[in-house]
Amino acid sequence: MRTSPNVIITGTPGVGKTVHCEQLAHDTGLRHLSINQIAKDRDCFETYDDELETWIVDEDKLLDAIEDEMLQGGLLVDWHACDLFPKSWIDLVVVLRCPSTSILYDRLSSRGYKQAKLQENLDAEIFGVLSDEAYEAFDEEIVVELTSEKDDDVENNCARISAWMDSWESNQRGNTD
């Protein structure tokens, strides 16, 4: 049994997943697992999408690449999708949302996203695609949506997630007594 939880921090590109994971890693000691970096480092790609200018991840190869780490626990999983991960690997799913499309537009534009990729991500945020995926893939009680627009949001969200982690770890200790 894991002694530290695995938490997915997911959401549309530009909502602050990496910032949240880095802050949480600093605050909690859990390890930030950037799925984009893992996919690059361990060659977990199928093909390249020229229109969206992005690599398409081979999900089976990716899951095989991280399985041992996930089973150990103590990870903050940073990725724009969550529905490929087995339920047994995940203890909390945090969906970051940026309801202000103008803020999200500015964040994505500053990354140099081309119009097609920018619009696809704005549409995904507007229609709550990643929230829907999270609720379909995991039990409702482990999914939480948090707003990520202002600097204060990061601090408040991280405090909330850290408190959840403390409670999870306390419950785990209670179950082994």
Instruction: Report the C-alpha gap between 82 and 166 in whole angstroms.
Output: 23
pLDDT mean for each 10 residues of the chain (177 residues): 93 96 96 95 92 87 97 96 96 97 96 91 96 97 97 96 94 75
Examine residue 106 and state whether it is found in any structural domain, yes or no.
Answer: yes
Six-digit token pair at 152? 């204060």
| pLDDT for residue 174 | 81
Q: Show Cβ contacts of residue 132 under 8 Å, excluding neighbours closer than 6 positions.
A: none
10 belongs to an annotated ligand binding site: no
114 belongs to an annotated ligand binding site: no
Instruction: Report the C-alpha gap between 153 and 90 in whole angstroms.
Output: 23
Instruction: Report the C-alpha gap between 56 and 44 in whole angstroms.
Output: 9
Domain extent, residue 50, equals 7-159
Examine residue 36 and state whether it is found in any structural domain, yes or no.
Answer: yes
Examine residue 176 and state whether it is found in any structural domain, yes or no.
Answer: no
29 belongs to an annotated ligand binding site: no
40 belongs to an annotated ligand binding site: no
Examine residue 169 and state whether it is found in any structural domain, yes or no.
Answer: no
| pLDDT for residue 177 | 53
Say how many domains are in the chain.
1
Q: Show Cβ contacts of residue 106 under 8 Å, excluding neighbours closer than 6 positions.
A: none
Examine residue 145 and state whether it is found in any structural domain, yes or no.
Answer: yes
- CATH number for position 92: 3.40.50.300
Examine residue 20 and state whether it is found in any structural domain, yes or no.
Answer: yes
| pLDDT for residue 175 | 72
Examine residue 66 and state whether it is found in any structural domain, yes or no.
Answer: yes
Examine residue 165 and state whether it is found in any structural domain, yes or no.
Answer: no
